[in-house]
A and B are shown apart, each in its own frame.
Chain A
Amino acid sequence: MIAHQIVPPDEWHAQAQGAVGAGFTFLDLLAGIDRVEERELVLRVVNPENDEARTLITRVPASDPRVPSLADLWAGAAWQEREISEMFDVVFDGHPDPRPLLTRDESTEPPLLKSTALPERLSTPWPGAAEAQERKRRRPQLPPGVRQEWVDEASGGSA
């Protein structure tokens, strides 16, 4: 179990700054997680003097995913925030350079959101569809990442 501290978004910057003040000066990880109703941000910082680590977590509502940028504390956080921003559609207030880092096409849906369609999965045979013990399931099971409405849409479009 990893010890972590959950902080409200409006304390995100202050808590991170506090960690720097307490010697946790090395930015180890800043990552996003899609919790559907919320977007979660995970920050892991390390004290290089004694290798102790501290993990901070904050959650912002998916309807208004907004959190202050930490780029003034660690310059390297700017890249990680740019990636989280394009992958999870999170806005970092006060970010010095909020351009997308990896994606080029602005019309792309945030790739790591669970709600983002994975169209290639509709045309790729799912290995999990093979019936165990040659039994027919009553309801065909959909692969992870594919939603029923996409299947309906795809079959409706081709019919």
Chain B
Amino acid sequence: MTSLPTRGVIALIPDACTSCMVCVQECPTWCITIDSHVEQVSEEGARRPRSVSVLDRFTIDFGLCMYCGICVDACPFDALEWRPQHDYPADTRAGLVQGTDQLAAWLR
């Protein structure tokens, strides 16, 4: 957990995410979605190509999120992080759904 005075927002480190779906399944409000696909990666000297999960889309619907932080705790790869940003209003319901780009931008 964070020692920040606010809960802020949950940010994503896309490179750390393996699309394992643990956060999606643990989320009590069903606010996280993940789309991914599997790619075969051939490596020099390897007998067979390796299956690697590639993250296509990661969204958090902050209209549903209750900031419980279970996803942050549950992530086995520490790909989710609390950040102090709090100013992300939207004028439509869909605008509260943040995708990979915004979730990663909050890391900076």
Contacts and interface: CB of A to CB of B under 8 A. Distances in A.
Are A and B part of the same complex? yes
B35 interface: yes
B28 A130 contact: no
Interface residues of B, number: 18
A130 B38 contact: no
Interface string B17-38: 0011100111110101111111
Contact of A133 (B19, B26, B27, B30): B19
A60 to B, nearest CB: 25
B2 interface: no
A127 B20 contact: no
B16 to A, nearest CB: 16
Interface string B58-85: 0000000000000000000000000000
Interface in A120-159: 124, 126-128, 130, 132-134, 141, 143-145
Contacts of A127: 24, 27, 30, 32-34
Contacts, number: 37
Contacts of A133: 19, 36, 38, 51, 53
A134 B89 CA distance: 35
B17 to A, nearest CB: 12
Interface of A: 124, 126-128, 130, 132-134, 141, 143-145
Given A127-B27, A141-B25, 4 more contacts: A128-B21, A128-B24, A132-B21, A133-B53
